[in-house]
Structure 1
């Protein structure tokens, strides 16, 4: 299954298997002001805990349940906002791309490109992301078994780009429900790439509200702790200062004022697990 890839350095910090890191932010860019507020709070928390953190927010949520759902500011304005947030906070940034044509312009701003779960097998998209030579975080589809991710990794690495991360975000369990098999973290790490656990999308109820997805954020912290204990290299958390009024994924988003305490716990668990397996 290959040897582990080396960690990469973003903003002077190491991101990979050696040091626990976090991807966090609001699901979608609702406004520059809100995104900046969240990024600044996350940057302060990460600095106080000495945790490498990548700010995440989508410039476009192309797979919303309803055609009337808020999608974000779009590629051009969204990248402009993310660039300003990078300058203000010093945090690296990540966002989703949905088509091969978005890869090159997105890579001029983004430090990491993310492939949405529903698009994780799209060859042209994976190759275009790989060709940017930026790290590529691929979210494993809800419909995929963890031992089937090898071809996904190979598509990105066929470009000569070795920097691939995989994200576990739960698997379809009947209708409008997801379940997390913690064994998948070890299986995917066996392919020699860092594995991220998406704690908030894993508690989503896809399409569960009819015209939008539901969720139960109460379970996200426990799943995050379990995933790090199971060997996850990083955790992905969507967080918002007012989840009840978020324009996307509010039901499964972690309240921003609870983020720092959870990150402290996760770092401690990661250190304990790595100590025991060293």
Structure 2
């Protein structure tokens, strides 16, 4: 399933070791220096462990609880930073889009377009993303089962684009928490697409009374380890040098200097499973 990504993504080196791939970076692009620093350090870790790496960063945050929440540094500014990361660090890049009109614009700067979980049923958005020819990573809605994501895959494929990834990020029951059902991984793999576990977003505690999303970062290792043991093709991990000062989702991000140890553990789990 990963061979299609190798062909569709520049600088995406698929190993023959059965290793998982990593989508990682800050929640939102906060500035050029930080984005390049994170991308460079994560690539170095992944190179040592032979983990294919895709840099993740939102150019704009559209789904915020409060009107005064940070949303970004400007669309074009952030997209140009993502483009620079891809060129200078030599890794594929991914960002999320929120409306169909954003697809063609974002596709000029990044290698993969991501559909947010709340928008995974938006037909016009999925078709617009598919029509760019880019790889489309669709996050499973918190309100859906893994089996139901086959319709989202079909919308992209029937639009003429075979390059699809599905990402799980837990299920919500409306009580300011999320629950991960690992049955969703094999269920979504049955559609013949790579399946990713979004580790950090699965640990969010949304809809807090403060209007700021909480999280349980102490469980990052638990969620990631279980996903690799079940057979996830990839992991999605938001990371930041100082999560406490991050401008978005700091409560559930992994501190950058802890990523290396986690990845080493996960590669050992994958080897043991194989």
Please state how far the C-alpha of 1:220 moved relative to its aligned partner.
1.1
d(CA) in 1 for partners of 2:180, 2:15 = 24
Please state how far the C-alpha of 1:147 moved relative to its aligned partner.
1.1
Kept after mapping to 1: 8 A contact 2:12/2:92: no
Please state how far the C-alpha of 1:17 moved relative to its aligned partner.
11
Kept after mapping to 2: 8 A contact 1:17/1:233: no
- Structure 1-normalised TM-score? 0.93
Equivalent residue runs for 1:67-216 within 5 Å: 67-216=67-216
- Equivalenced residues, count: 271
Deviation readout 1:119-165 (Å, 9 max, x if unpaired): 01000000010111111000001011111111100111111111110
- Structure 2-normalised TM-score? 0.94
Please state how far the C-alpha of 1:74 moved relative to its aligned partner.
3.2
The DSSP-based 3-state class of the residue aligned with 1:51 is coil
Cross-structure match for 1:8: 5
Kept after mapping to 2: 8 A contact 1:17/1:194: no
Cross-structure match for 1:229: 229
Kept after mapping to 2: 8 A contact 1:5/1:162: no
Q: CA RMSD in A?
A: 1.7
Distance 1:106 1:16, change over 3 A: farther
Give unpaired runs (5+ residues) of structure 2.
none
Kept after mapping to 2: 8 A contact 1:170/1:180: yes
Kept after mapping to 1: 8 A contact 2:94/2:114: yes
d(CA) in 1 for partners of 2:2, 2:53 = 19
d(CA) in 2 for partners of 1:260, 1:225 = 14
Kept after mapping to 1: 8 A contact 2:22/2:236: yes
The DSSP-based 3-state class of the residue aligned with 1:269 is helix
Cross-structure match for 1:240: 240
Deviation readout 1:51-70 (Å, 9 max, x if unpaired): 11000010001001111100
Kept after mapping to 1: 8 A contact 2:15/2:51: no
Distance 1:160 1:126, change over 3 A: same
Distance 1:17 1:183, change over 3 A: farther
Give unpaired runs (5+ residues) of structure 1.
none
Cross-structure match for 1:41: 41
d(CA) in 2 for partners of 1:172, 1:60 = 23
Please state how far the C-alpha of 1:12 moved relative to its aligned partner.
4.8
Please state how far the C-alpha of 1:173 moved relative to its aligned partner.
3.2
Kept after mapping to 2: 8 A contact 1:171/1:180: yes
d(CA) in 2 for partners of 1:17, 1:145 = 30
Kept after mapping to 2: 8 A contact 1:203/1:219: yes
